């Protein structure tokens, strides 16, 4: 009986660790998508240029919308949360994070290097 309890505890720990890992991966991807969308929105709307295709940008936006709809609690823990709450593609021009110094600096760097 004691061995069964130890086995069950190990399996429970594995399940918890797996769920935590999945949550971490989802959170990392949402953060990555939000940063990419913010930077490329700044490049497009503030610097009047583009370094990625419209299709690539659309794919980033659609993936973010999908993840945020499927995992709203995780999305609430992510970077630029206020800017991306209830995010829609049409919001890209007015994202609050476009005024963020990290976003501006990253965008200017990317345009200089790849634009």
Asked if residue 43 lies in contact with residue 50, where contact means CB atoms within 8 angstroms, the answer is yes
pTM for the predicted model, two decimal places: 0.87
Q: What is the pLDDT of residues 13-71, one digit of tens each?
A: 677 788 899 999 999 999 999 999 999 999 999 999 999 999 999 999 999 999 999 99
Closest C-alpha to 39, from 83, 1, 71, 75: 83
Rounded Cα distance between 29 and 86, Å, is: 17
The domain locations on the chain are: 17-114
User: Is the pLDDT at 4 greater than 70, yes or no?
Assistant: no
- 42 touches 102 (CB < 8 A): no
């Amino acid at each position: 009986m004691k061995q069964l309890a130890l086995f069950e505890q190990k399996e429970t720990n594995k399940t918890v660790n797996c769920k935590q890992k999945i949550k971490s991966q989802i959170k990392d991807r949402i953060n990555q998508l939000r940063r990419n969308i913010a930077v490329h929105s700044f490049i497009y709307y503030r610097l009047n240029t583009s370094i990625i295709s419209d299709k690539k940008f659309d794919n980033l936006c659609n993936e973010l919308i999908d993840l945020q709809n499927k995992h709203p609690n995780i999305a609430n823990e992510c970077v630029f949360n206020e800017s991306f709450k209830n995010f829609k593609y049409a919001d890209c021009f007015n994202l609050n994070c476009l005024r963020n110094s990290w976003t501006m600096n990253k965008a200017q760097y990317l345009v200089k290097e790849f634009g």
